[in-house]
Homo-oligomer: A and B are copies of this chain.
Amino acid sequence: MSVKINIEKKAQQLNKQFENRGRLLVKCPDRPGIVATVSKFLYDHDSNIIESSQYTSDPEGGAFFIRIEFHCEDLVNKREQMEKDFDMLASKFSMDYDFTYGNERKRTAIFVSQEPHCLMELLWEWQNGDLETDIAVVISNHEDSREIVESLGIPFHYIPANKDIRKQVEEEQIRLMKEYNVDLLILARYMQILTPEFVDHFPNQIINIHHSFLPAFIGARPYERAYNRGVKLIGATSHYVTNDLDEGPIIEQDIERVDHRDHVGDLKKIGRQIERRVLTRAVKWHLEDRVIVHDNKTIVFQ
């Protein structure tokens, strides 16, 4: 199909364009000389820093975080040696670190139930080349989204779900994540509870959109509860999924103003606009390696 071919071509162009682009994320105990050491390392490895952001949680004995985006000619052939060299330096500073590369896009699975607005927004951004990912598969417990998903050349798997068959549903889902070699799971209004076993498979790899301004209205039916409380603003929150319901590290939040004339149905409509932009922003930042999780909070290097 023409649409599919276009998207693939765009993806290939982007991979090509960024094939000499690398990113380095580092987390370690703070001490003098880290920036000097890391930046000298990159310079010695023919890499020019394009963008760099850092954060120290506490100037007195806190943790240090840095994200560097760099350009290096012929990176594809140099990266192996670079990683090997960096590993020695890393152990000296007790660093956790990660290299990622512009020509290796993350692979994404989108989980959705009936409400398609978040899925649609993600597909839209992806078609525009604004989501740095390959959408490997869409999984749903409803058939509604099959047509639009398949028309874009993305595999769609219908897996009916309810609490009685949760275990086998999740086994099938985990199998698919492996089959499609997925790096990131996006719960785009997927209205099923995940078991701890499932969540443990994907640490800091599941991004959810919750339809309230957390920690207000944790759990079910947040718009109804917002209406009943008479709040003047409603919100949405995108966060990594952990095994505490709606308590995972928050990546992004936003709100809109409402008033006494807005009934529950209006809140839901307004909320859909918030949800889709909040989830999309969070996913983008994750895909660009801008999010670091630390102590159940996120550092977001925008």
Chain A contacts to B: CB under 8 angstroms: 3, 32-33, 35-36, 39-40, 42-43, 46-56, 59, 71, 120, 124, 130, 147, 213-217, 229-233, 235, 249-255, 259-261, 269, 273, 277, 296-300, 302
Copies in the complex: 4
Query: Quick check: B250 and A232 within 8 Å, CB to CB?
Result: yes
Cβ-defined contact, B260 with A233, below 8 A = no
Q: Which residues of chain B come closer than 8 Å to A130, judged between CB atoms?
A: 269
The DSSP consensus for interface residues of chain A is mixed
> 25 pairs across A/B with beta carbons < 8 Å?
A35-B39, A35-B52, A36-B36, A36-B42, A36-B43, A39-B39, A40-B40, A50-B56, A51-B56, A52-B52, A52-B54, A130-B269, A213-B216, A214-B216, A214-B229, A230-B249, A230-B250, A231-B250, A231-B253, A232-B252, A233-B235, A233-B254, A259-B300, A259-B302, A260-B299
Contact of A59 among B71, B213, B299 (CB under 8 A): B71
Query: Once the chains are docked, how many angstroms separate the CA of A231 from the CA of B59?
Result: 22
Nearest-neighbour CB distance to chain B for A93, whole angstroms, equals 13
